[in-house]
Structure 1
Amino acid sequence: MTTITFLGAGSVVFTRDLLADLLAFGDIPDLTIRLHDIDADRLATAEGIARSTADHQGAAPVITSHLDRRQALEGADFVINSIQVGGYPATEVDFEVPARFGLRQTIGDTVGIGGIFRALRTFPVLAAIAQDMLEICPDAWLLNYTNPMAMNVAYLHAVAPQLKVVGLCHSVYWTVRGLCDIVGVSFDEVSYLSAGVNHQAWILRWEHEGVDLYPRLDERIAADPELRRRVRVDMYRRLGYFPTESSEHSAEYLPWYMHSDSEIERLRIPVGDYLGISRENVAEYEETRRKVQAGEDIGEREHDAQEYAPQIIHSIVTGTPRTIVANVPNAGLIDGLPETFTAEVPAVVDADGIHPQAVGALPLQLSALNAAYVGTGMLTVAAAVRGEPRLLRQAAMIDANTSASLTVEQIWDLCNAMVEAHGDLLPPALRVQISA
């Protein structure tokens, strides 16, 4: 029997898509799906979606739902984590408070003020999940989708180093697919290598039948002024390697764009974009819940990508080898990246588990750009592990967009305001107001 526990199953569309990919394999025997959420209404909706998805696939897994997390973890072989601590109200705080200080953000889930505080309110829950898993299902893999990915994996490695955890993100896949569309080649016919940190990794090699595709991309960019109005195309033209996350994300990881009205106009940067996305997600959930309660068809997933968690589960259970992109503690995988922070690298998956592949040193300019991201992440993790509120402020001071947009005094005042706004969601030791 293979038992898979979904934590944060109330992210209902994501749960549907993962289940659809998982059940599509058809050769994972005796499959048990356990759904957990702290919201009873969302959990009931998730169960309805799971059963509908199984019916669409002609599958008959055992499906149970649990408000009690420890109960859901009993016997788990794999635990898929997609929790969002604080939900939409916390996301509003992440944007509205910094905006009062003049700090612009787009997504706010990876680094920056939004990423720092999303991490700090997620860490206590991650610690509790890790403790439960080590007691209840110590041999299970934790497959994490919750952002900020790099900080969450680094934190789990710090507080529960014996836990088998890997962070999963589809940004590399969609980046390469998009690049292939631009140059007119089939994704299935290309080979590529990426490495770096989550949401700021780099396409180091991209070839079709052994031929480098970057020169063809250069031709397309030179011929299309609208392509040049994308943040990551602008990054590529100046850095020489294409970044692996969308322009909306990438803009706020850098010191060059968000504080400038002219750059926001030139590169069409959607300031505050994630607030709209979050509202749409809430509306999508409400409509999905209505369909489940009415017994209507909830529809199939809208794209043909296969998420990494189902691939990992299939490879480990059946022994089918495949290569994915994984977020894991660096441990020598990327030269120059701190050993305890999270690297995003290729990994081979087989019956024996997940095997990250070393890639050596990144080009110097890419490593240098990753440094601020990594510094913010390491300081945020250290603030939580050590319970030192000054480290929280120092994490914000190091952040590229924050430090380019605000004075140090404004940064400290903003951190104090965020601590007050998020209150009990934060680790107790960090719920304090401090001055320099």
Structure 2
Amino acid sequence: MSFKIAIIGAGSVGFTKKLFTDILCVPEFRDIEFALTDLSEHNLGMIKAILDKVVEANGLPTRVTATTDRRKALDGARYIISCVRVGGLEAYADDIRIPLKYGIDQCVGDTICAGGILYGQRNIPVILDFCKDIREVAATGAKFLNYANPMAMNTWAAIAYGKVDTVGLCHGVQHGAEQIAEVLGAKSRHELDYVCSGINHQTWFIDLRLNGRKIGKDELVAAFEAHPVYSQQEKLRIDVLKRFGVYSTESNGHLSEYLPWYRKRPDEITRWIDSHFNVRNNGVITNLPQDAIIESPGFVDRFGINMAAGITLPEACAATCMSSINVQRMSVHAAVSGDIDLLKLAVLHDPLVGAVSTPEEVWQMVDEMVVAQAQWLPQYAHAVPAAKERLSKSAVKTREWAGAARRNVRSIEELRAEKAALKQAG
């Protein structure tokens, strides 16, 4: 079996190395070509040298190529994996910093909320460029695997506007399953069977069985509350479990930005936070819209990816997902059309933004973010002059604030020292 996998954004060295070694764990995939592409020639050189050493040390027939010419990398590829972050850490800093001025304290800001929506505005035009290249030069029937946030928006745009066979991938589900297996006293996570369904970062363990025995809400709550670590680290998830009856896949802090009730006031934040396949729904989940990008169980066989259909989410889970789906839909349409008014409406309807900010604050915040990130938002170039003009006259007050539960910025040297200390202690 010989084919080509192209990785866009391969200059993300650690991520690409892990992806590469995971794929090569499948014996049938070893006699293939990995075509790496990135804007950074320096990072490409680093990752190619690392992967070449892996190939050499293991005596593999795998071939690794690297080029800054994206179309050359995609030429003839059967699978294309995207792990890009448009704007990098510079734009990401604005995703967090600017909303803080308006009282919006995000945990990560990469999926929805103000930061995630602007992240999508930067990514989607580039995703559509990738899709154009895939249609024109990749292998017939090539599959696009999106491994970058905002997952649902990127995947939605690639399917609806890019017209490419696309699947979104996320590794969040496994970690939640490992937690559940641990608190229930399983000797191995393989003793736990589960069905997980919902949307990206709002997926729910709707059926749990330990060695064939069904696990109910009360038993799971008691197990988490008795755990010496998770009882403190996952307080918000446990509270949601008590109220919704199901456990969320998403980490404590990340989950809190999708639910407006836990981050609307600084005192609430400190109370709760300590210092599979993503495809178009098409009837898989019965109580979510057909066009939504859902995350749900699927099976891969010689016929491709087949989704388990007929899943119905608990009503509270479906309602929570719907709030994000509506924001995602508007955000995708705004990113494609360059409609700044629709973008503002999308941000306004975000659950956390709506819980914290007034419409006037949202309108000014979006203007400020679009102006700050204009270099990565070509579809809004026509709207930037008017946004600047509005900002010069605005009377909406803001504040400089680091957030209620923010870690201090650390240098690379400090991070290395912290990692060395943890390694020594462990």
Question: Taking structure 2 as the reference length, what is the TM-score of the superposition?
Answer: 0.85
Change (3 A) 1:49 1:225: closer
Indicate whether 1:240 and 2:191 are aligned. no
| 1:265 aligned residue | 270
CA distance in 2, matches of 1:171, 1:235: 17
| 1:175 aligned residue | 176
CA distance in 1, matches of 2:28, 2:151: 30
Match of 1:221 among 210, 220, 224: 224
Change (3 A) 1:427 1:328: farther
The aligned amino acid for 2:142 is A
The aligned amino acid for 1:405 is V
Indicate whether 1:386 and 2:337 are aligned. yes
| 1:202 aligned residue | 204
The aligned amino acid for 1:391 is L
The C-alpha deviation readout for 1:385-436, integer Å capped at 9, x for no partner, is 3332211111111111111111111011101100101103114247524679
CA distance in 1, matches of 2:310, 2:14: 34
Deviation at 1:80, TM superposition (A): 1.0
| 1:192 aligned residue | 194
Q: Which moved more, 1:6-15 or 1:52-61?
A: 52-61
CA distance in 2, matches of 1:48, 1:108: 33
CA distance in 1, matches of 2:59, 2:190: 28
Match of 1:347 among 285, 288, 298: 298
Change (3 A) 1:216 1:431: farther
Indicate whether 1:5 and 2:10 are aligned. no
Paired-residue identity, %: 33
Classify the secondary structure of the residue corresponding to 2:297. strand
CA distance in 2, matches of 1:431, 1:106: 31
CA distance in 2, matches of 1:150, 1:358: 19
Paired residues for 1:408-423 under 5 Å: 408-423=359-374
Paired residues for 1:284-433 under 5 Å: 325-429=276-380, 432=383, 433=386
Contact 1:346 / 1:357 at 8 angstroms: preserved in 2? Answer: yes
Question: Taking structure 1 as the reference length, what is the TM-score of the superposition?
Answer: 0.84
Change (3 A) 1:127 1:269: farther
Deviation at 1:259, TM superposition (A): 2.3
CA distance in 2, matches of 1:56, 1:146: 30
Indicate whether 1:17 and 2:22 are aligned. no
The C-alpha deviation readout for 1:198-236, integer Å capped at 9, x for no partner, is 000100011012212344322223435864442211211
CA distance in 1, matches of 2:57, 2:219: 41
Indicate whether 1:77 and 2:78 are aligned. yes
Deviation at 1:339, TM superposition (A): 1.6
| 1:50 aligned residue | 51
CA distance in 2, matches of 1:198, 1:108: 14
CA distance in 2, matches of 1:431, 1:210: 59
Paired residues for 1:63-74 under 5 Å: 63-74=64-75
The C-alpha deviation readout for 1:19-58, integer Å capped at 9, x for no partner, is 1111122223631111100111111111012112223433
The aligned amino acid for 1:268 is I
Classify the secondary structure of the residue corresponding to 1:335. coil
Contact 1:345 / 1:359 at 8 angstroms: preserved in 2? Answer: no
Classify the secondary structure of the residue corresponding to 1:27. helix
Deviation at 1:361, TM superposition (A): 2.1
The aligned amino acid for 1:261 is P
Which stretches in structure 1 are left out of the alignment for 5+ residues?
271-324
| 1:129 aligned residue | 130
Q: Which moved more, 1:14-23 or 1:378-387?
A: 378-387
Contact 2:337 / 2:379 at 8 angstroms: preserved in 1? Answer: no
CA distance in 2, matches of 1:348, 1:369: 26
CA distance in 1, matches of 2:231, 2:12: 35
Q: Give me the CA root mean square deviation.
A: 1.8
Contact 1:6 / 1:79 at 8 angstroms: preserved in 2? Answer: yes
Deviation at 1:171, TM superposition (A): 0.6
Deviation at 1:336, TM superposition (A): 2.7
The aligned amino acid for 2:88 is G
Q: Which moved more, 1:209-218 or 1:133-142?
A: 209-218
Contact 2:30 / 2:61 at 8 angstroms: preserved in 1? Answer: no
Which stretches in structure 2 are left out of the alignment for 5+ residues?
395-426
Deviation at 1:269, TM superposition (A): 5.1
Match of 1:140 among 136, 139, 142: 142
Classify the secondary structure of the residue corresponding to 2:121. helix
Q: Which moved more, 1:179-188 or 1:112-121?
A: 179-188
The C-alpha deviation readout for 1:187-206, integer Å capped at 9, x for no partner, is 11111001100000100011
Change (3 A) 1:430 1:337: farther
Indicate whether 1:92 and 2:97 are aligned. no
CA distance in 1, matches of 2:53, 2:299: 32
| 1:254 aligned residue | 259
Contact 2:120 / 2:335 at 8 angstroms: preserved in 1? Answer: no
CA distance in 2, matches of 1:91, 1:338: 30
The aligned amino acid for 1:255 is P
- The answer to which structure, 1 or 2, has the higher relative contact order (CA under 8 A, 6+ apart) is 1
